[in-house]
Amino acid sequence: MIKFPVPYLGICAYSGTGKTTLLTRLIPLLRKEGLRIGMVKHAHHQFNVDQPNKDSYRLREAGACQTLIASRKCKAWIEERADQANEPTLAEALAALQPESLDLVLIEGFKKEQFPKIELHRPGLGTPLIFPNDKNVIAIATDDQLPVATGALPLLDLNVPSQISDFILHDFLKNHRQKISPYNDNNEFPTLI
């Protein structure tokens, strides 16, 4: 498990299951409870957060390795990756966040890495379940009966985001609060143990 001073939880599923849709409904519910949410999303394709012909885009195209675009409303940091053969790791993505201003990090993607996850599953899509091969799945959110028994894993209703939010608040975060160690001798952030 990656050491990070803030609890982090994945939402994992096969493409087309509705991960982003659920997250856009889940984040406001968690924010309403006072949580400051960080979000990490893995993309399997090329993407660009900058606009062609804008000054920042032209500066990146000119060869800047890192570009920071800042305004009074938002800030975006773009790093050109020299190693384009390897996908970024979750540890690299988490390292880019500012944990002192977060209470929880939600993660979409990185499903093959080892960290706590809620699996989303729609039996009607015909995709296999992830949990039998991933012991990091801590709950399953589904929209129908599952074809196999889940043992002690909690089953949540995929169509009721408030139920998933309650699980995160009252089960996942409560469990992590009990496992947080105090500040160490170096005055570093507490780490989950």
Per-residue pLDDT reduced to its tens digit, 131-185: 999 999 999 999 999 989 999 999 999 999 999 999 999 999 988 775 543 333 3
Per DSSP (E only), the strands in the chain are 8-12, 37-41, 66-70, 75-79, 104-108, 117-121, 137-142, 155-157
Give the mean pLDDT of 61-79: 82
Residues linked to residue 8 through DSSP beta bridges, in sequence order: 105
Structure token digits, residue 41: 């999303």
**What percent of the chain is predicted at pLDDT more than 70?**
87
pLDDT surpasses 50 at 123: yes
What pLDDT is stored for residue 15 in this prediction? 92
Domains and CATH numbers, the chain: 8-42+87-179 (3.40.50.300), 49-83 (no CATH)
What are the two backbone dihedrals, phi and then psi, of residue 10, each rounded to the nearest 5 degrees? -95, 150
Structure token digits, residue 90: 């979750």
Give the mean pLDDT of 105-109: 94
For every residue of 121-149, DSSP letters joined together read E-GGG-PPPSGGG-TTEEEEEESS--SS-
What does the mean pLDDT of the chain come to? 86
What pLDDT is stored for residue 82 in this prediction? 74
Quick one: which H or E segment has residue 21? helix 19-32
Give the pLDDT band of residue 54 (cuts 50, 70, 90). Answer: confident
Give the pLDDT band of residue 5 (cuts 50, 70, 90). Answer: very high
Give the mean pLDDT of 106-134: 94
Which strands make up the sheet holding 8-12, listed edge to edge? 37-41, 104-108, 8-12, 117-121, 137-142, 155-157
pLDDT surpasses 80 at 187: no
Three-state DSSP class for residue 65: coil
